[in-house]
Amino acid sequence: MREILKLAQKVVPETLELLVKRYNILRVINHNQPIGRRTLSSSLEIGERIVRSEINFLKEQNLIEINTPGMTITPEGEEVIHKLKDIIHELKGLSDLEEYIKKGLGLKNVIIVPGDLDQDKTVLSELGKAAANILKDLIRDKSIIALTGGSTIKEVVDNVPRITNFKDILVIPARGGMGKNVEIQANNLAASLAHKLSANYKLLHIPDNLTTTALSAVLNESDVKEIVDNIKNSDILIYGIGRADEMAKRRGLSSERVQELNSLGAVGEAFGNYFNSLGEIICSTSTIVVDSNSLKSIGNLIAVAAGESKAEAIVAIEKNLSHSTLITDEGAARKIINILDKIE
């Protein structure tokens, strides 16, 4: 198929461009249905006149329906989206990008979904589906699954189907609580995932920004110690990656601390650890759970992070994690390649 698509790109590139455009329209409608024409136009950054013409065509093909609340996808449209997914992946050259990044960062696997999360929030759903599929393939009887919090990891959990054919699975949070949004905190997501897997779970009732003194005292508690040991011995760790500057603000760090992070060259954050561009942990706001040694001992890492703005952070944290699978998007992937090319 790849060879045929390459030939088609040379002979009829305008046809393939139209295919990608109509696929994107169907995908955005599917993720936002029912959706109005103006909202669709804004989401795709395409003029309303062009959108009107395209949706009329898609309606004639019975791929969408147009009702008072807005446009929705028909069953036939859903089937077309599903069947076009791999073709679009090849058309955009994402398989080649995956292999390049996999080798460049020394990773186990790389999966790239089309789009850029910074520009299109519907990409988040595709990331969640891709990560959920990877997780399903890795789960075994007696698996210990650890996960961090955040909206991206919540999307992963939301896309995991109900699975009941595994025994003695344990799900645990890989970090304490942070912020006021309970829905995306690690404890809540661990409980939600455990419910879907008919698994046991444990909770870590600790704020994620304790002082060193308070943290030392808490770590001596037997219940906490047991969970931390479980995390370090986990088979699967699912985690998000943040930009250092953004995460510092979310954690409410003082301006002096932020300045210190900048001077140390912090570019990325994961598990409460801040990393420089060389992939070194240069600062930790919380050392409850995961350090560099823990990362090396956990069997399967699943990193889920996307958007062009996170590319530098992704490179810093994922560099040389040979047992990590990175799920990202096209926007981040193309920027990652630019970074890798400069390093070489």
Give every CB contact of residue 81 below 8 A, 6+ residues apart in sequence: 23, 26, 27, 30, 73
pLDDT single digits (tens) 116-168? 999 888 899 999 999 999 999 999 999 999 999 899 999 999 999 999 999 99
pLDDT single digits (tens) 214-270? 666 666 677 777 888 888 889 999 999 999 988 888 777 778 888 888 888 999 998
pLDDT single digits (tens) 313-332? 999 999 878 899 999 999 99
343/47: higher pLDDT:
47
From 3.40.950.10, 3.40.50.720, 3.50.50.60, 1.10.10.10, which CATH number describes the 2-91 domain? Answer: 1.10.10.10
Q: Is-contact 25 42, C-beta < 8 A?
A: no
Q: Give the pLDDT of residue 211.
A: 62
Residue 61 has pLDDT above 90, yes or no: yes
- Quote the tokens at residue 101: 């990044």
Q: Which run of H or E residues covers position 171? A: strand 170-173
Q: Give the pLDDT of residue 58.
A: 94
CATH number of 94-343: 3.40.50.1360
How do the domains of the chain map onto residue ranges? Answer: 2-91, 94-343
> What radius of gyration do the chain's Cα atoms show?
22
